Amino acid sequence: MLKHGYTYSNEERLLDGKVQLQLRKSIFYARIYKGEGTRGYVWKSMRTRDIEVARQKAMQFAAAIEWKKENNIPLVSPTFSRVLNEYVAVREAQYERGNYVRGKRKAAGQQTSVYNLYQIKRKAKFWHEYMGSTQMHKVTNALLRDYVDWRRDYYHRMKPEKRPRNCALNPADKTLQDETVFALSVLKWAAERGYVSESKKLDCYYKAERTTARPHFTQADYAKVIDTLQARIEAATSKQRYMREMLLDYVLVARASGARVGELNNMRETDLTEFEDEQGRRNYRFAVDGKTGEREVVLSADAAHVIDRVLARNTAMQAEWAATAQTDKKQTNRKQAVHGNWLFRMADGNKIISLVDQFEVVPLVWTVWRLS
C-alpha cells in the first residue's frame, strides 16, 4: 500500500487493480489500462502531493475513462490542430492522386481540385490560430460561434505593416460562412475517424445575413477599361510593358470566354484546343478547372487572335524565364512556384496568384473589375 512520504511502495492499485497510482518526484500520477483490443495505458497527473486527494482524483479519472468507453469517445483527445493537419494531408493526397473526375463534383466520394486545396489551406490558417491547441472533446458550438467575431477583428489587431498584401480587412459575410462550414466539415471528418463522439451535436455556423448581387457594368464601362489599359501600354517602359500587355489580354480573354479568375490563373497552354467552328472560323476551346470543377469553355471567335498573341509572347519570353528560374535557384532557398506552361504568367514566368496589385494602380480598372 502506498503511503505519502515514501514510507512504503511508490505505487498503489485501486478498483481491483484497474487504476494504478504512482508517486513520481513527489507528484501523484494515475495510470489506467486502455482495455481489450487496444494497447498501452492512459496516464494523467493528479497534480497533488496529498495521498487522499490523489486517490479521490484517481477515482474520478477512472469514472471519466469508463464514461468515454461507453460513449465511444477517444480516451486521449487530440488537439484540433493535429486533426486539421491530418485532414489537410488527406486532401493533399487526394489531389496528388488526381482523383478529381472531370465534370463531376464528389459524385463518388470526396475529391480535391487545385482550387479546393488552395481554399482549404487558406481557411486552415485561421482555424489553427483560433483554436489549434483546443482538444477535440472541448470544441463546442459556443466556440464555433465566437469564431466570427475573432475573425472580423483578425487583421484589425495586426499592425498595418504586418498585414498580407491584398488582404481583406473586413471579411465578407460569405467568407465567414464558408470558413465556419469548413470547420464543421473537419469536425465531421474527425467524428468519422473516432476523434470525437458522433453523438456530439456541432452544427453552429455563420449564415450570411445579406447577399449582395454583383452589379453588371455597361459596354461603355468596358470600353473605358480597355482604353485605359491600352493607354498604359503606350506609356510603359520596357520593364513595365510585359505585365501591362499581359493584363490587357487577361481581361480580353476573361470577357470573351466567361472564365473565372481562378480558372484563368490555373490555365496551361496544354489546356487549349484549336478548332474550326461551323462558320469556318478558327477558334479555341479551354479545359478549365475552378471552384465548380472542370468544364469546357469556348472563346468568342473574334478573340482568337488574343490567344495567338499570348502564345507568341510566351514563346518570346522563354529564354528570359529560364534564366530567371536558374538565378532564383542559386540565390534563394525560399520555395518558388513551378515554372509550368501557364497560359498567363507573371513577369518572372511564375504562375499568377493574384493580379489585385496590378488592378489597384488603375482606379477605373479596379473599380470595374471588382464589380465583375
What is the DSSP track for 195-219?
SS-TTS-----PPPS---PPPP--H
Write the pLDDT tens digit of every residue in 54-98. 999 988 888 888 877 776 666 667 899 999 999 999 999 888 887
| DSSP string across 238-305 | HHHHHHHHHHHHHHHHHHHH---HHHHHH-BGGGEEEEE-TTS-EEEEEEEEETTEEEEEE--GGGHH
List Cα–Cα distances, 36 to 21, 30, 62, 69, 143, in angstroms.
21, 19, 16, 11, 34
List Cα–Cα distances, 28 to 4, 14, 91, 159, 183, in angstroms.
10, 13, 42, 45, 37
- Is pLDDT at 215 greater than 80 in this prediction? no
Whole-angstrom Cα distance, residue 362 to residue 225? 9
Sign, CA dihedral 104-86-163-148, equals positive
124-129, Cβ contacts within 8 angstroms, sequence gap of 24 or more: 124/84, 124/88, 124/182, 126/151, 126/154, 126/179, 127/80, 127/84, 127/179, 127/182, 127/183, 127/186, 128/81, 128/84
Whole-angstrom Cα distance, residue 321 to residue 334? 18
Selection from 113, 349, 147 nearest residue 242 by Cα: 349
Write the pLDDT tens digit of every residue in 254-303. 989 888 888 888 889 999 999 998 899 999 998 887 666 678 889 998 89
- Is pLDDT at 2 greater than 60 in this prediction? no
Provide CB contacts within 8 A for 123, sequence distance 6+: 178, 179, 182
7-15, Cβ contacts within 8 angstroms, sequence gap of 24 or more: 12/55, 14/55, 14/58, 14/59, 14/62, 15/59, 15/62
Domain borders along the chain are 11-70, 80-192, 219-371
Confidence bin at 356 (pLDDT 50/70/90): low
- Is pLDDT at 311 greater than 80 in this prediction? yes
List Cα–Cα distances, 199 to 136, 202, 252, in angstroms.
13, 9, 53
Write the pLDDT tens digit of every residue in 100-145. 444 444 444 456 777 788 899 999 999 999 999 998 888 999 999 9
For residues 343 and 268, the answer to whether their CB atoms sit within 8 Å is yes
C-alpha cell at 61: 479519472
Cα 292 to chain centroid, rounded: 16
Predicted local confidence at residue 306, as pLDDT: 94
Write the pLDDT tens digit of every residue in 14-32. 888 888 888 888 889 988 8
> Which phi and psi (to 5°) does residue 3 adopt?
-135, 135
Helix (H, G, I), strand (E, B) or coil at 320: helix
- CATH fold label, 219-371: hpI Integrase; Chain A (1.10.443)
Torsion, Cα 181 185 187 189, to 10 degrees, reads 180
Write the pLDDT tens digit of every residue in 32-44. 887 765 667 788 8
For residues 92 and 110, the answer to whether their CB atoms sit within 8 Å is no
Whole-angstrom Cα distance, residue 174 to residue 45? 44
Predicted TM-score (pTM) of the model is 0.53
Selection from 293, 277, 299, 301 nearest residue 343 by Cα: 299
Whole-angstrom Cα distance, residue 51 to residue 67? 24
Whole-angstrom Cα distance, residue 144 to residue 207? 13
Whole-angstrom Cα distance, residue 59 to residue 189? 33
